[in-house]
Structure 1
Amino acid sequence: MSLGDEHDGQTRTRLPDPGTPRPPARGSRSLVAVVGVVVLLVAAIALTNRGDGPSPSDATGPDTNPHSAAPTAATGVRPVTGKNGTIPSGFARDEQGAQSAAANYAVALGSVDMFQRGPRENIVRAIHDPAVVDGLVQRLNDSYSPAFLTTVGLNADGTAPTGLTFVSRTIPVGTKIKDHTGDTTTVEVWCTGLVGLAGEGSTKPVTSTWFTITEKLRWVDGDWRVVSSAQAEGPTPVNGDNRASVADDIAQAVEGYGGFTYAR
Structure 2
Amino acid sequence: MSKTRNLFQGMEKLCRNLIPNKYALLLVSAFGFNQLSLANPDLLIDLQGEITQGSLMVGKTQPGNSVHLDDRALKVSRHGLFTFGFSRDDEHNYQLKITSGNEELVKSLQPSKREYNIQRVNGIAKKIMNPDPKDIERARQDSKQIGQVRNQEADNIDFAHGFIAPSKGRVTGVYGSQRVYNGKPGNPHYGIDYAGKTGTLVQAPAAGVVTLWVPDMFYSGGTLVIDHGHGVTSTFLHLSGSLVKEGDNVLQGQNVAKIGSTGRSTGPHLDWRVNWFKVRLDPALVLKLPNMQTFK
TM-score when scaled to structure 2? 0.22
Which protein has the larger Cα radius of gyration, Structure 1 or Structure 2?
2
Higher RCO (CA 8 Å, separation ≥ 6 residues): 1
TM-score when scaled to structure 1? 0.23
Q: Higher strand proportion, which one?
A: 2
